[in-house]
Amino acid sequence: MASRTSPFDLSTCARPNILKLQPYRCARDDYKDDGTNILLDANENAYGPGLALNEQGALQESTVTGTSTGSSKPEIDLLGLNRYPDPHQVELKKLFCKLRNTHTHTQKVLGPENLFCGVGSDEAIDALLRCFCAPGKDKILTCPPTYGMYGVSAQVNDIEIVKVPLDVDNGFQLQPEKINETLAADPSIKMVYICSPGNPTASLIKKSDIQKVLEHPTWNGVVIVDEAYIDFAPEGSSLAEWVNDWPNLVVMQTLSKAFGLAGIRLGVAFTSPPIATLLNSLKAPYNISSPTSALATAALSPTNTAVMRKYRDQIIAQRERLVQELPKIPGVGRFLGGQEANFLLVELLDKPATEGGKASNVTALATYEAMAEKRGVVVRFRGKEYGCEGCLRITVGTEQEVTRFLQELRGVLQAILAGEDV
């Protein structure tokens, strides 16, 4: 498909100070380290990392306090930690492209020039705000209920938030016509953050609705689709490669969820090369640490993505089990939203559904607190979020965790609805 014409103009949409940025260059951008050079350019410690390492480069056993590191040869090059990491991460970016070049949404091919790597997708959320929104002047549009960091990051950057809620009566889908009207009326809105699958809704947003916003006839702004949970949705759902068809689309992903690597902090934004260039220019040069880069690169190998898919399938099986079993517990109401993430948004009621129970924040909050304080099971109370009256957000755990959760929830709800002590 040919690139569509668009009112988007990067030269007037991005902040002028960012457009003028010259990315930080290090001497190694000019003189590649081939392993033979003496590196006296970056004020590193040439003697090595301040770690007691044995000859194999592993931490000496006596210095290891945790149990998981051991003395076996580490995957990570501990001996190289005295050197700054690669600022560009081209190999890692190539692997992300390989993963997402599915030719489902376009025949065009993603390359490393389409990518920004960040310290989690939280860094991408913030980098985009700093790239496009002038503090105290510009705005973003969000669609509640949604992920809290869009609001936090906007507040930190002194950016106002305009809200067009998701359609509560339609499975928490987008309201593209309302969004488009709002964008037409206020050109100071520079970005729309769409979470798909949504947090806390677990609903995959319809591609056709996102397209309606992208096809806005006059708006000069950027559409961000946050796909943190995309690998729990049906195969082919990711719109990452679609950034090649739209000059103003950004698709964010992370290794924190399906890939199970929240601890390494690695997120990416796929977008058009000009936007990726701006994001890469404004980031701190060495934002991705070498251990993170090594682990992320390993995670995207065929052997390791097979492990990710195996765990993902187990999570989906437990999600289906929760979908079957939760409604059998008296006091549990409907699932609001969808089933396309590794969590479910479930209503709790003031009485069992058979007795005409209604969604109740009193029940949900009491259940949330009792589960955490008395039963050692922590879920998330979401009843204060738009359209989520009486809701808990429940992350899908292991088979044993789900068994325990179901058992404790049944006991806690029974006691709460009977007005007894938990």
Ligand X SMILES: Cc1ncc(COP(=O)(O)O)c(C=O)c1O
* Residues of this chain that bind ligand X (CB under 6 A): 120-122, 147, 195, 199, 226, 228, 254, 256, 262, 267
What is the smallest separation between the CB atom of 149 and ligand X, expressed in angstroms?
A: 6
| Strand bridging mode 249-254 / 222-226 | parallel
CB count in 10 Å sphere of residue 5: 7
In the bound state, the residue with its beta carbon closest to ligand X is 120
CB nearer to ligand X: pick between 292 and 361? 292
CB nearer to ligand X: pick between 83 and 93? 93
What is the smallest separation between the CB atom of 120 and ligand X, expressed in angstroms?
A: 2
Which residue carries 């701006």 as its tokens?
278
What is the smallest separation between the CB atom of 193 and ligand X, expressed in angstroms?
A: 9
CB nearer to ligand X: pick between 195 and 326? 195
What is the smallest separation between the CB atom of 148 and ligand X, expressed in angstroms?
A: 8
Q: Positive or negative, the Cα torsion across 380, 151, 118, 290?
A: negative
Which among 249, 250, 257 is positioned nearest to 228, based on CA atoms?
257
Name the token pair of 110: 């993603």
DSSP annotation of 167 reads: B
CB nearer to ligand X: pick between 152 and 362? 152
**SS3 of residue 343 by DSSP:** strand
Rounded (5°) CA angle 394-396-400: 115
What is the smallest separation between the CB atom of 395 and ligand X, expressed in angstroms?
A: 10
CB nearer to ligand X: pick between 180 and 256? 256
CB count in 10 Å sphere of residue 342: 21
Give all strands (DSSP E) within 227-331, no chain letters.
Answer: 249-254, 267-270
CB nearer to ligand X: pick between 70 and 263? 263
What is the smallest separation between the CB atom of 318 and ligand X, expressed in angstroms?
A: 19
What is the smallest separation between the CB atom of 179 and ligand X, expressed in angstroms?
A: 18
CB nearer to ligand X: pick between 282 and 416? 282
User: Residue 266: CB partners within 8 Å, gap ≥ 6?
Assistant: 117, 118, 119, 120, 254, 255, 256, 288, 292, 295, 296
